[in-house]
Structure 1
């Protein structure tokens, strides 16, 4: 017997009662998307991972990409990061930037902004390399991470883009188009201004820390050494210490917080190496009227970090003490 009995097509259907159209406060007949409440933050954790369709490394399932850490039974690929869900306006702005870049670059771009189905995707700032934990380690690692983040002394804070750059990684064999990010804490010490990476239209909710160099790439000496990322660097030190205790490699190693400008948000990638011509064309597009200022005025709020262990994502909030920024 069927679980559900459906009426046949020749039976008379019951009369349908028309649903009432809900009015909005402005008298509209139907609510707009902007009036709908946002999804709770915990919802994103439940659907942060794609379904594993193969335990073997099959690049054809992942746009030609290869796993940094091949799957092994009893091993749990893990990653610590800060997640950012761009607003509709921010997503449209970054999409506009990629759309302007694609026709003038000689390399294909794969966007991180949307999924294969066209749905907006969250972006992230890495706080660890891809590390591997054993089944016996994973629960203890997570418990220690929760305790250390909770006592790190860093309050929720804001980040702001400081420039656009290309970054090549030997591990993945890919080139990443990234937004370098720095602390947007209004109380941070400002650096010498650079017209090439200074926003002229700061948002009222995110006062950005000026950049000290305008080269748009990693590893270059700044004109005036400063702490670009006091909050991120402090959280990273706690993360690095913990992963090293589990015999895993740290992410970045800074000396006295000098030149801590490697933090970034990847927005697109390519297998091709970024040639000087590609870098120059990227900078030309980014410098077009309004494009740079709009992107550099983006505000990225940070209220915690996420630990992805296997396919389980855990949000670990930063301690809240009545203000945003470093508690030092």
Structure 2
């Protein structure tokens, strides 16, 4: 009706008042994705990471990434860790790696807007692979390129061919983004203990004893 039309029509004063209220209203929160990108630079503090140091500084919009095979810990594995930590004390303070895994790529950097497409490409590539088993056949020692950390690892025995195929497929995905492929002379392994500094020589002296502990705990249990 005409009365309804009159009621809905605002006067100039009402219009200005409503505009002021809208202008002073609370802004909508940023989406989580933009919050992440607009956050402050992360400062590296080794004290927060048990003395570990970043290989390169964190930059906003860059995501340090890694593709790997996760390991499900079990009783024999935990016992092995305890015995080797005790064997190395007090000379070397070994610490557990919280999420042991077999790396299929180097650590690489993805730009934020690459992530979804990259993940889709990886899934599409690996879906051609059948599920496979992996077994370990002994212990090896590795030191990172910066010589800031040393790792005790289980070397892969059974399953090398399948892992190699997985790495080849992933290398193709990485190449599309001009990212480095995996090491040409790959030594597939799963690091499970670590210590600060370059302690490779000291640990190699203990390696025969540590391998005995590994064999005693039934290597095929891992």
Supply the distance in 1 between the matched residues of 2:80 and 2:95 (Cα, whole angstroms).
16
Aligned with residue 147 of structure 1, among 104, 124, 136: 124
Asked whether the equivalents of residues 166 and 274 of structure 1 are also in contact (C-alpha less than 8 Å), the reply is no
Q: Describe the shift of the 1:130–1:293 C-alpha distance in structure 2 as closer, same or farther (beyond 3 A).
A: same
| Aligned partner of 1:81 among 63, 68, 78 | 68
Name the stretch that deviates more: 262-271 or 230-239.
262-271
Q: Which of structures 1 and 2 has the bigger CA Rg?
A: 2
CA change 1:159–1:293 in 2 (3 A) is farther
Shift of 1:272: 3.0
Alignment TM-score, normalising by the size of structure 2: 0.74
Computed over aligned residues only, the root mean square deviation of the Cα atoms, in angstroms, reads: 2.4
The answer to whether residue 43 in structure 2 is matched with residue 56 in structure 1 is yes
1:244 aligns with 2:175: yes
Which residue among 107, 110, 118 is the counterpart of 1:133?
110
State how far apart, in whole Å, the 2-side matches of 1:144 and 1:282 are: 40
Are the structure 2 counterparts of residues 96 and 67 from structure 1 closer, same or farther at C-alpha, using a change threshold of 3 Å? same
Does residue 93 of structure 2 align to residue 108 of structure 1?
A: yes
* Structure 1 runs not aligned, ≥5 long: 1-52, 113-120, 185-228, 255-259, 300-328
Higher relative helix content: 2
In structure 1, what is the Cα distance between the partners aligned to 2:203 and 2:112? 44
1:124 and 2:55 aligned: no
Could you say which residue in structure 2 is the equivalent of 1:41? none
- State the match for 1:165 in structure 2: 140
Q: Tell me the equivalent position of 1:97.
A: 84
Q: TM-score, normalised by structure 1?
A: 0.51
1-side partners of 2:144 and 2:188: how far apart? 14
Q: What does residue 166 of structure 2 align with?
A: 235
Q: Distance in 2 between matches of 1:172 and 1:251?
A: 20
Once the two structures are TM-superposed, the CA of residue 102 in structure 1 deviates from its matched residue by: 2.7
Alignment of 1:160-239 (within 5 A): 160-171=135-146, 173-183=148-158, 229-239=160-170
Pairwise CA distance, 1:295: 4.4
Partner SS, residue 85 of structure 1: coil
Deviations 1:191-234 (A, max 9, x none): xxxxxxxxxxxxxxxxxxxxxxxxxxxxxxxxxxxxxx100000
Cα distance in structure 1, aligned partners of 2:74 and 2:203? 29
Q: Give the 3 Å change call, closer, same or farther, for CA 230–131 of structure 1 in structure 2.
A: same
CA spacing shift, 1:68–1:295, aligned 2, 3 Å: farther
Moved over 4 A (4+): none
Alignment: residue pair count: 184
Separation in 2 of the partners of 1:81 and 1:275?
A: 24
Determine the structure 2 residue equivalent to 1:27.
none
| Unaligned stretches of 5+ residues in structure 2 | 1-39
Residue aligned with 1:292, SS: helix
* SS of alignment partner, residue 133 of structure 2: strand
CA apart distance, 1:158: 1.4
Measured at CA, do residues 251 and 238 of structure 1 come closer, stay the same or move farther in structure 2, by a change above 3 Å?
Answer: same
- Alignment deviations for residues 278-320 of structure 1 (CA, whole Å, 9 cap, x no partner): 31223224325xx424242224xxxxxxxxxxxxxxxxxxxxx
CA contact under 8 A between 2:125 and 2:169: conserved in structure 1?
Answer: yes
